[in-house]
């Protein structure tokens, strides 16, 4: 099994290298096999087909992305960590443009989980923001808005690489979307104290659990909090 894993990793690495130097963001399976010294039936046995190999490259890209996120120092200020995470996302796109496009450009036939797993990493930071009362919408909603904005900005910069030279451009987009999902420390006229308290309590429950409650009681509490934080259509402001 170890030999198979080593061979699989070598083929993913060869495909990623070819993708990085490609002029059309594509790979040739024959060239990948030649680089590793195997025949094409080996590729089909390990990945199914070219699409499966590309999915594996995309998922490997997530592992690299996650490693960079793990190396980013987590502070006691989740909002600051969120801002740093945006900049780290943009840096990853700048340094790995072809891989980034493979990970984030929609491919209808793709089974890669890379984008979903990036979403989950972002949501974890947003739960921390909600726990200190810094979030005005549910973490999944905030994550969807932020990821859409960051991916769109990064893909636009990849299309015009010179845009990466001016970080103020991405920071303006960051400021715009953060202004929609984050709260200020001071009270707002449109604030709903009960809903914001419920958001904080639910986030704290996600982070730390509640040893004093039985599982069925925790589930009931989550249901109540969901009803308070998601009263119906149009609740996202």
Q: 97, 158 in Cβ contact below 8 A?
A: yes
What is the predicted pLDDT for the residue at 191? 57
The answer to whether residue 237 scores a pLDDT higher than 70 is no
Taking residues 127-141, report their average pLDDT. Answer: 91
pLDDT in tens, 56-79: 999 999 999 999 888 888 898 999
What is the predicted pLDDT for the residue at 55? 96
Spatial distance between the Cα atoms of 156 and 119, rounded to a whole number of angstroms = 20
User: Could you give all domains of the chain from N- to C-terminal order, each with its CATH number?
Assistant: 73-229 (1.10.357)
pLDDT in tens, 164-219: 999 999 999 999 999 999 987 433 445 576 777 777 777 777 777 777 777 877 78
Q: 137, 123 in Cβ contact below 8 A?
A: no
What is the maximum span of the chain, computed from C-alpha positions, in angstroms? 67
DSSP string, 200-231: HHHHHHHHH--TTS-HHHHHHHHHHHHHHH--
Q: 101, 25 in Cβ contact below 8 A?
A: yes
Number of H helices, E strands in the chain: 11, 0
Task: Name the 3-class secondary structure at 192.
Answer: coil
Helix H, strand E, coil C: the string for 78-98 is HHHHHHHHHHHHHHHHHHCHH
């Amino acid at each position: 099994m170890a030999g198979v894993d080593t061979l699989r990793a070598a083929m993913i690495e060869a495909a990623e290298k070819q993708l990085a130097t490609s002029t059309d963001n594509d790979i040739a399976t024959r060239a990948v096999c030649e680089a590793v010294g195997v025949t094409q039936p080996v590729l089909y046995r390990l990945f199914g087909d070219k699409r499966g190999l590309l999915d594996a490259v995309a998922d490997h890209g997530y592992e690299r992305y996650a490693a960079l996120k793990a190396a980013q120092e987590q502070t006691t200020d989740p909002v600051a960590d969120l801002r740093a995470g945006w900049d780290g996302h943009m840096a990853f796109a700048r340094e790995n443009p072809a891989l980034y496009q493979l990970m984030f450009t929609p491919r209808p036939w793709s089974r890669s989980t890379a984008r979903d797993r990036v979403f989950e990493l972002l949501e974890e930071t947003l739960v921390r923001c909600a726990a200190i009362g810094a979030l005005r919408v549910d973490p999944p909603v905030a994550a969807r808005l932020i990821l859409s904005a960051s991916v769109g900005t990064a893909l636009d910069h990849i299309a015009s690489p010179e845009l990466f030279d001016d970080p103020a451009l991405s920071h303006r987009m960051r400021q715009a979307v953060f202004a929609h999902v984050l709260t200020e420390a001071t009270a707002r006229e449109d604030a709903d104290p009960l809903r914001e308290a419920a958001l904080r309590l639910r986030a704290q429950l996600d982070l730390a659990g509640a040893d004093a409650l039985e599982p069925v009681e925790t589930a009931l509490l989550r249901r109540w909090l969901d009803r308070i934080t998601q009263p119906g259509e149009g609740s996202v402001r």
